[in-house]
Structure 1
Amino acid sequence: MSVTFRTAANGPLGMRDFRLLLAGAAAAQFGAHVALVALPLVAVLELDASAFQIGLLTAAETAAFLVIGLPAGAWVDRLRKVPLMIRADVARAVAMASVPVAGVADVLTMAQLYAVALVTGVATVFFDVAHQSFLPHLLPRDQLVRGNGALETVRSSAQVTGPGLGGGLVQLLGAHLAVVADAVGYALSALCLWRIKQPEPRPEPVPGASLRADIGEGLRFVLGRPLLRAIAVATGLGNFFTALLMATQTVFLVRVLGLEPAAVGLVLSAAAVGGLAGALAAGALAARWGQARVIWLSPLATGPFALLWPLSEGVGGAALFALGSGVVFFGAVVYNVAQVSFRQVLCPPHLLGRMNATLRFLMWGTLPLGALAGGVLADGFGARAALLCCAAGFLVVPLPLLLSALRGMRDLPTGPEAVRPAAPDTDAADATAAGAEAGAGRRDRTTSPG
């Protein structure tokens, strides 16, 4: 199946359909980051939820990645991506809109919040896998790093403004009404996607294909490549401890530091400021240090700043917490730009959905486990102890990358050697392939934010 790309002299932003994809991402991400503050505050302030209940709510939002992550990739590869993303956005908008409706009617319960989290989580699995699989269909491969960079800039910008506005809306209107912004964001995202005109033929069915065989093919592709394995393990660890942070930070900021909702939003925006800076710097860092080096160097250099979270207390506690978040998430975004772009270039188009879903299962399947661990730790030992465990975990994240062939590379292999399954001495084979490509003068890949 051939694909015709609509290119432009000034890159992805010169393409109408990519601008629509970007606008939809902006609307959805903005609403989601308002809800990132508002939804836990609904539970804490209006339903008096315990730390364990907040952890359970966070786990419910991400449980779908663990439960349906693998089959989702096989299904996505059999469907057109844009209609699937539109349906997922509509489902998320309806689910989120039920929260303010129930709040106004005074019938809102934790059970409904759990249900909303589960529904939006399932829809998000399909949306995210389809979104990452659609981008290589929309852009030529030499534009993928720039495209991912632009999408990451949008996401990081939403992280900067969303939590602060979310905290302000909670203080002004009440937590349940602030969730309206999330429902509106998903609806606008669906509208932008609906206007995309890029031809997208329905994938041709493979005779005799089965769901189990499709899932197995995706697993073999990922697990047969040592660089992808190392990235999957490191990202899975990072997501586990990020979920632990998400499950405990609102409880810590409200009940330990005593912050008001608006202040909570501002503190959480610090992570987004760091993420935005990372998105803007990712291209220059990859050009300066090499894409492979950036993958392991960014978490190694920024992870220790997570120790500022449990050390936060007193008058300057909020500032210390914000500084730690900003630096840690700067490194996380730089890391994501490099590794996501590498994955998209590496994978054959017909396997993109399964590759992305397999990696999401391995990487994001740890999210509900981390959230539950955070809730249990905070309930049993206090939010500060939970954050101390979280900070220690961020120090471990770079280890799988440092123990892989990545540590000896400057740039990542993207040619036939990278696509070929691993040989018995897999790390040496990957390193040799990378060196051969570097010697041939392969030009560096740079990115805007990613």
Structure 2
Amino acid sequence: MSGLGRGFRFLWGSAGASNLADGLLLVGVPLLAVSLTRSPLLISLVSAAATAPWLLLALPAGALADRHDRRTIMILAAWTRAAVLAGAALAAWLGLLDLPLLVAAVLLAGAGEVFADTAAQSVLPATVGRDRLAAANGRLTAVQTLGNHFLGAPLAGVLAALGAYLVFGGAALLYALAALLLLGLRGRFAAGQDTTGARLRDDIRVGLRHLGGHAALRGLAAFTGLSNLANGAYFAVFVLWVVGPGSRVGLTPQTYGLVATTLAVGAVLGSVLAAPLAALAGEARALLAVTTAGAALLLVPLLAPVPAAVFAAAAGIGAANAVTNVVAVSLRQRLIPEHLLGRVNAACRLIGNGAMPIGAAAAGALGTVAGVPAVFWTAAALTAVAAVVVLTQVGPEETAPPRSAPGPRVASAGE
């Protein structure tokens, strides 16, 4: 964490604990769900409960992040998730866990995630300064990947086998730790705007108006939405192409697990390379180049359906997605005025996160009618369109960093 300051170390540690908890839930909750029901409809309901809060709460969460101290919102969200999951752990330990309770716990934990993540993206520029956002976001993306995939996933499998209460209890303890680590962020992290007499919906409208009127931000939102739409569609049917004796590649389920690990390895590598690449080529050019390469990589398993090519493509796709995520988020954080960070970030997250389930649903329909290759070609085409959006809407002249020092910091980060 050299050069990013003491405040970022606490933020990074809190993100590590929180993402490890996320990893426990990401794998542990589906395992618990299938122990309660074998209905595909009910299982999908549990999955939907994890993402539905983004569609319902993203915009209000963004407005509140611009009204109140953002660190306080993150701490309250972490304690709320800890309390909810501690209650679920107690219910599981007493043998009272059923599907409605599981859905309720996932829904409430997901709501806490919306408020925590929205506030976190607004806190970061005040913690490290806007000139070091790419490096900071790269480290946060790396710890997110490690927590969700390398550590959380296998740990969740062990804990779920020992008892459902351990999955929830472990996640609750990690969220509590995340809240405690945030106390190391010194100072206040409020936007400082006067909201006396203002209505929340008016605040939301101001954020949406700013996003719609800013060409580069509007382009970044469209870029993220198209990219996530493509990825949601692609990976919804990817397993059908590569796993099983009837697939084109013929991987075993065990080998497919290694493909997922390879994606995560690529993502960690991409998160490390993102900042140097953006500094070397410029943010807009880096986005354009990596997105174009990513579109081509999506077609590799289709054009070369052999295990070696699939693994190589997986590593490249993971790296490309991490680079574009780090660069796009860092650029967005730098372009948004301080007092609008929460609202505009939330609007962008609504577009990006909302696109993934839409892409997955569309892939199921298209794959049924036209086959899996049609989904792959469509995903690659959508990614290419996202690259065109970068070329036309997110130009280097609009996104060049200011010649002066980074934007004013609203709080002491305790460096």
- 1:389 matches 2:375: yes
Of the candidates 343, 352, 360, which is equivalent to residue 354 of structure 1? 343
Give TM-score scaled by structure 1 length: 0.75
Question: For 2:69, which of 58, 80, 89 is the aligned residue?
Answer: 80
Give the direction of change, closer, same or farther, for the CA distance of 1:157–1:412 in structure 2 (3 Å limit): farther
Show the counterpart of 1:364. Answer: 353
Structure 2 residue aligned with 1:286, among 278, 293, 300?
278
CA separation of 1:326/1:297 partners in 2, compared to 1, >3 Å: closer, same or farther?
same
Of residues 30, 55, 73, the one that matches 2:20 is 30
**What's 2:3 paired with?**
11
Corresponding residue of 1:297:
289
Structure 1 equivalent of residue 187 of structure 2? 198
Q: Which amino acid is the alignment partner of residue 157 of structure 1?
A: L
What is the alpha-carbon distance in structure 2 between the residues aligned to residue 309 and residue 117 of structure 1? 34
Q: Which amino acid aligns with 2:281?
A: W
Shift of 1:133: 0.8
Residue type of the partner of 1:119? L
Alpha-carbon distance in 1 for matches of 2:32, 2:311: 22
| SS of the residue 2:379 aligns to | helix
Can you give the 5+ residue segments of structure 1 that lack an aligned partner in the other structure? Answer: 1-7, 417-436, 441-450
Farther off after superposition, 110-119 or 333-342: 110-119
- Counterpart position of 1:222: 211
How is 1:84-123 mapped onto 2 (pairs within 5 angstroms)?
84-123=73-112
* Kept in 1: contact 2:78–2:178 (CA 8 A): yes
**Residues in 1 aligned to 2:234 and 2:170: alpha-carbon distance in whole angstroms:** 24
* TM-score, L = length of structure 2: 0.81
Alignment partner, residue 448 of structure 1: none
Pair 1:239–1:229, CA change in 2 (3 A): same
Give 2:120's aligned residue: 131
Name the counterpart of 1:335. 324
Instruction: Provide closer, same or farther for how the CA distance between residues 160 and 181 of structure 1 changes in structure 2, counting only shifts above 3 A.
Output: same
Q: Deviations over 1:286-328 (max 9, x none)?
A: 2333211111221221234345678999xx86x7765544321
Equivalent residue number for residue 58 of structure 2: 69
Matches of 1:311 and 1:44 in 2, distance apart?
35
For the pair 1:185 / 2:174, whether they are aligned, the reply is: yes
Is the Cα–Cα contact under 8 Å of residues 66 and 365 in structure 1 kept in the other structure? yes
After TM superposition, the structure 1 = structure 2 runs for residues 382-421 of structure 1, keeping only pairs within 5 Å, are 389=375, 392-403=378-389, 405-406=391-392, 409-410=395-396, 412-414=398-400
Q: Does the 8 A contact of 1:92 with 1:123 survive in 2?
A: yes
Q: Residue 345 of structure 1: SS of its match in structure 2?
A: helix
Q: How far apart, CA to CA, are the structure 2 residues paired with 1:100 and 1:243? A: 31
Aligned length: 400
SS at match of 1:398: helix
Worse-matched range after superposition: 67-76 or 144-153: 144-153
**Cα 1:176/1:41, change in 2 over 3 Å:** farther
Cα distance in 2 for partners of 1:229, 1:354 equals 14
Q: Does 1:165 align with 2:154?
A: yes
In structure 2, relative to structure 1, the CA distance for the partners of 1:198 and 1:232 (3 Å cut) is same
Q: Is the 8 A contact 1:55 1:371 kept in 2?
A: no
**In 2, are the aligned partners of 1:30 and 1:185 still within 8 Å (CA)?**
yes
Taking only aligned residues, the RMSD between alpha carbons, in angstroms, comes to: 3.8
Distance 2:349 2:287 in 1: 18
Question: What CA distance in whole angstroms lies between the structure 1 residues aligned with 2:159 and 2:359?
Answer: 26
The percentage of aligned residue pairs carrying the same residue is 32
Confirm whether residue 144 of structure 1 aligns to residue 136 of structure 2. no
